[in-house]
Structure 1
Amino acid sequence: MLKIVDRYIIKKYLGTFSFMLVLLSIVVLVIDVQQKIPRIENAKALDSKLDLGYFLIHFYPFWIINLVVTFLSILVFITVIYFTSRMANNTEIVAIISSGASFHRFSKPYLYTSILIALVALLVYHMILPWANIKKNELEAYTYNAANKEKILGTAPASSQLSKTEYIFVDSWNKREKRGSGFVYQKFDKGRKMTYELKASDVYWDQEKKQFVLNNYYEKTINKDNSEKLGNGTELRKNYGHAPEELFPNELLGQNKTTPELLKFIEREKARGNSNLNSYLNELHQRTSMPVSIIILTFLALSLSSQKKRGGLGINLAIGISLAFLFVFSFEALKVVSENKSLTPALAMWLPNLVFLPLTLYLYLKRANQ
């Protein structure tokens, strides 16, 4: 009997979840395309291939993956609220409990299904989503407004710390063309005395040979006796170990890396002496904390919706949607707090779970003991 009930609840859970997943994807896709058509037309003016059809094939499928993963916790929460409230209103839960099953036994299929979804989400977050983000982020900037697009594709000063004693500065670097002017490379000894300086009027990235090409360069080597050795030329090729995307990263870079790659990147930046890593650490910790939240929110939704209430399904959905959006909004707000270094990234990205877990346990045990 109970195994039949388990299969029934799992089928309800996965069926409702799949329906809401498809519905959300279609509705949001249509709204987003309509909103961004003017910006896509502007992109087409820059490159004739960047028309709406190109975006529908090369951008939106990967954008949808990112969207679904971002709102996965909300989807799970609303799914459980919806189908459990319907079961409660139809007195199905009362019948199951009255047959001799405890509330803990009744909740087992919720646990199994939420763990399954969380494990899939864990794999997607750590390995599949970064691949989708690489595809998405190639075109993402073209869907931004002019100011935000300029931050990603435009021209701005750039700098990088290669190690604790090596620095690169570029007065004006164009991220889209990978070309700039006013290049300076400086190297210091342990006493912070400059030992070498290389300047060039302009620089560009040779994608084929994976090298920086410096034009009209001037170099200076400072010896221990403070004597100087000077040199210059029209072209010099240099390899600084990484592509421009790595040397001059933007906020999208962390999204593009699988977790092993992201861990290596963070360790490399720490070795360089880069202390501005919180946005990447937020990304790293969120990839685990969000799947865990699926289990927590499943039981919170179960506790809130497993009793028949005055107002029925409507009041449960209203409470559920409000709490779900509060949960996701708290992640976004805490990211900002963490990037301002008011909280550590680990605490910021786990804090919503740490707050909602005791609340969920309280409501669950209260419901189980009724």
Structure 2
Amino acid sequence: MKIIDLYIIKKYLGTFGFMLGLLTIIVLVIDVQAKAPRIESNGFKVSEFLVNFYPYWIINLIITFMSILVFISVIFFTSKIANNTEIVAIISSGASFHRFARPYLMTSGFIALIALLINHFVLPLSNIKKNELEPYTYNAVSRAEFTGNSEVSTQLSKTEYIFIKSYNKKEKRGSGFIYQKFDKNKKLIYQLNANDFYWDKDKKYFSLNNYFEKTINKDDTEKLNNGNTLNKSFGHPPEELFPDVLLGQNKTTPELIKFINREKEKGNANLNSYLNELYQRTSMPVSVIILTILGLSLSSEKKRGGLGLNLALGIALAFVFVFSFEVLKVVSENKSLPPLLAMWFPNLIFGPIALYLYFKRANQ
């Protein structure tokens, strides 16, 4: 049966590779054509993005649609060999359906393992490069959220807060800076104001200009101080102090876990987007195995509708599966569902369905 195993593995990987290449080329061409005017209007050349943005964007694209590609690939080549009565011949030779399914499980497990490693360690490094330029592919309103000025507030600890009237994430400078520290009774004990500030990347501190300090003593007396320039460190760079939704994508899993734990200690309750990112890195690769079992179960029997019916059903189910992840992300970020449950919910629903159909097919 080793020949059969190699035959199925070759079919699986060959179809998956073809689908992967086809999707990459089609989506790349469409995306470049759609975004070229925005790229050029921001002072860049499309050729620059083809070298410095799209290779990293493609990695993200492949991981996002890997489950769909695996499912459609399994449906496609299994339907073909089923219609050619090859599966009937294999089963008739004495092999059980479980034995026939073994190379499917081996190959899907291999792909899932690769996806798992990429998700946790490679994709975040790729996202750093991708996210540097991605805002310049957005429209003006969306781009301003990442490159323009905005009001910012953050909690450094349970007793420390920073408020900024206008902050530019790209230039890492702003105006209207306020730092406040409270005691355990939530009484203000220190406040630092500055007209404007910037982040000194080399020296790793904030340089505050035209600052004013107020220290409130236990007897409610105040100590005032002011000056032209004050250099102050708050323990972390701006991207850590004022995180955006892209920060979680840029961190490897050990770094992301460390960041989430630190934010929890600070009392930050708005962590669902980062938790979604963390849990999805494992749940999506697992879905590769689930969808392989589901695809095998649906397409391994010769049907009157043939390949077309199986493909139509497979594509519909695959998009429902992946789309459900995006919907559940929004639900989780609105705190209507715990992130762990949200990111594993599609697997929890499709997993039992896949197993039921598999054993039903095996017992026929």
**What is the distance in 2 between the residues matched to 1:294 and 1:8?**
20
CA shift for structure 1 position 105: 0.6
Other-structure match for 1:26: 25
Aligned runs of 1:10-25 on 2, under 5 Å? 10-25=9-24
What is the TM-score with the length of structure 2 in the denominator?
A: 0.99
Q: 2:173 aligns with which of 158, 179, 194?
A: 179
Counterpart pick for 1:321 among 299, 302, 315: 315
Q: Give 1:102's aligned amino acid.
A: S
Letter aligned with residue 219 of structure 1 = E
Q: CA deviation at 1:90?
A: 0.8
Amino acid at match of 1:170: I
User: Partner of 1:186: helix, strand, or coil?
Assistant: strand
| Partner SS state of residue 304, structure 1 | helix
Q: Deviations over 1:49-83 (max 9, x none)?
A: x2111100000000000000000000100010000
Residues of 2 paired with 1:145 and 1:366: CA distance?
50
Are 1:99 and 2:98 an aligned pair?
Answer: no
1:160 to 154, 159, 163: 154
SS across alignment from 2:95: coil
What corresponds to 1:243 in structure 2?
A: 237
Distance (Å, rounded) in 2 between the aligned partners of 1:41 and 1:21 = 29
C-alpha distance in structure 1 between counterparts of 2:74 and 2:148, whole Å? 45
Are residue 342 (structure 1) and residue 336 (structure 2) matched?
yes
SS in 1 for 2:34: helix
Find the counterpart in structure 2 of residue 39 from structure 1.
38
The alignment's TM-score, normalised by the length of structure 1, stands at: 0.98
- The secondary structure found in structure 2 opposite 1:208 is coil
In the alignment, which residue of structure 1 is the partner of 2:131?
137
Q: Map 1:81-92; keep pairs closer than 5 Å.
A: 81-92=75-86
- Tell me which amino acid in the other structure corresponds to 1:197: Q
Please give the secondary structure, in 1, of the residue aligned with 2:268.
coil
Q: What letter is aligned with 2:310?
A: N
1:265-303 deviations in Å (ceiling 9; x for gaps): 000000000000000000000000001000000000000
Partner of 2:256: 262
- Match of 1:235, SS state, is strand
Secondary structure of residue in 2 paired with 1:169: strand
Which residue in the other structure is 2:145 paired with?
151
Ranges of 4+ aligned residues in structure 1 off by more than 3 Å: none
Identity of aligned residues (%): 71
SS of the residue corresponding to residue 23 of structure 1 reads helix
Residue 316 of structure 1: how far off its partner (Å): 0.5
Taking the aligned partners of 1:135 and 1:175, their CA distance within structure 2 comes to 16
| Separation in 2, partners of 1:245, 1:179 | 12
CA offsets per residue over residues 20-49 of structure 1, 9 Å max, x none? 1111111110000000001101111xxxxx
**Quick one: which amino acid aligns to residue 10 of structure 1?**
I
Q: Which SS does the other structure have where 1:107 is aligned?
A: helix
2:46 to 42, 52, 60: 52
- Which of 115, 128, 142 is the matching residue for 2:122? 128
Q: Spell out, residue by residue over 1:217-271, the C-alpha distance to the aligned partner (whole angstroms, 9 max, x if none).
A: 0000000001111000011111111111111111100000000000000000000
Distance in 2, matches of 1:52 and 1:211, equals 36
Is 1:80 aligned with 2:79?
Answer: no
Match of 2:349 in 1: 355
Structure 1 position 227 matched with structure 2 position 221: yes
SS at match of 1:181: strand
In structure 2, how many angstroms separate the alpha carbons of the residues matched to 1:209 and 1:336? 39
| Cα deviation digits, residues 124-158 of structure 1 (max 9, x gap) | 00000000000000001000111111111111100
Deviation at 1:304, TM superposition (A): 0.4
Q: Does 1:283 align with 2:277?
A: yes
| One-letter amino acid of the structure 2 residue matched with residue 31 of structure 1 | I
Match 2:195 to one of 186, 193, 201 = 201
Aligned to 2:302: 308
Alpha-carbon deviation of 1:209?
A: 1.3
- Find the counterpart in structure 2 of residue 169 from structure 1: 163
**1:63 matched residue in structure 2:** 57
Distance 1:166 1:357 in 2: 45
Q: Deviations over 1:178-202 (max 9, x none)?
A: 1111000000111111110000011
SS in 1 for 2:151: strand
Residue 3 of structure 2 is aligned to residue 4 of structure 1:
yes
Q: How far apart, CA to CA, are the structure 2 residues paired with 1:236 and 1:207?
A: 16
CA RMSD of aligned residues (A): 0.6
Counterpart secondary structure, 2:42: helix
Q: Which amino acid aligns with 2:284?
A: M
Q: Distance in 2 between matches of 1:311 and 1:164?
A: 63
* Distance in 2, Cα, partners of 1:316 & 1:333: 26
Superposition deviation, residue 358 in structure 1: 1.0
